[in-house]
Amino acid sequence: MTGSFCLLVVAKAPVPGFVKTRLCPPATPDQAADIAAAALLDTLDAVAATPGAVPVVAATGDWGTAARAAELAHALWPMTVIRQRGNSFAERLVNAHQDAAMPGLPVLQIGMDTPQVTPDLLAQGAASLTSEEKAALGLAEDGGWWALGLGDPAAAKVLTGVPMSRADTGRRTLRALTDIGLRTTELDLLSDVDTMADAERVAARCGGRFAPAVRAVLS
């Protein structure tokens, strides 16, 4: 498969009771999983439509029991799927960058919590990775980050020294990239979907499958 960069999606199977538990209540576990599946499907649509991208999905969980399993299988079929490995979240991210790396290609990594992402925004992030000394970081409104681009995928090892899932994770990541000499382009600020308030806010800004899945809970 040819392309100008690897577009890496880190994803967890949207199994009821194991994903988006902070949406419950008002969502039921099945509804929360459906929202997560919708978010991932919209994300995969954006990835598939991004020019120059070689899509790779680092996956974990039981996809056979996931919400919208058949639709997800269809969306994932043309993409390279690898298994996540590692104990901590930081270790899984570092290993995903390593396992997805292709000779001569930078890696732009995203998650499944920003269904409002667009092909243009993803292409913009990749376009900034013009050398091994370049990086890109998309900060999230909750203090984390939603995208990490690296001209040299081996630089992902810097994440092992960054505490994850904290209000300062984004800024700490930016500082860690700077400390190893990378010139980092900051991408647009986006909102992750962690709570129902997040879901409502993001649903108001996007369509696809995500907005109807959120409305189904609130109606």
In eight-state DSSP terms, residue 145 is E
For residue 164, the model assigns a pLDDT of 87
Can you name the residues that pair with 136 across neighbouring β-strands?
149, 185
pTM of the model: 0.94
Closest residue by Cα to residue 111 from 71, 162, 57, 61:
57
What is the per-residue pLDDT across 39-98, written as a single tens digit (0 to 9) for each? 999 999 999 999 999 999 999 999 999 999 999 999 999 999 999 999 999 999 999 999
DSSP string, 126-139: HHT--STTEEEEEE
* Count, residues in the chain: 219
What is the per-residue pLDDT across 164-196, written as a single tens digit (0 to 9) for each? 888 899 999 999 999 999 999 999 999 999 999
For residue 99, the model assigns a pLDDT of 95
Which helix (H) or strand (E) element contains residue 171?
helix 169-179
For residue 165, the model assigns a pLDDT of 82
CATH topology for the 5-218 domain: Spore Coat Polysaccharide Biosynthesis Protein SpsA; Chain A (3.90.550)
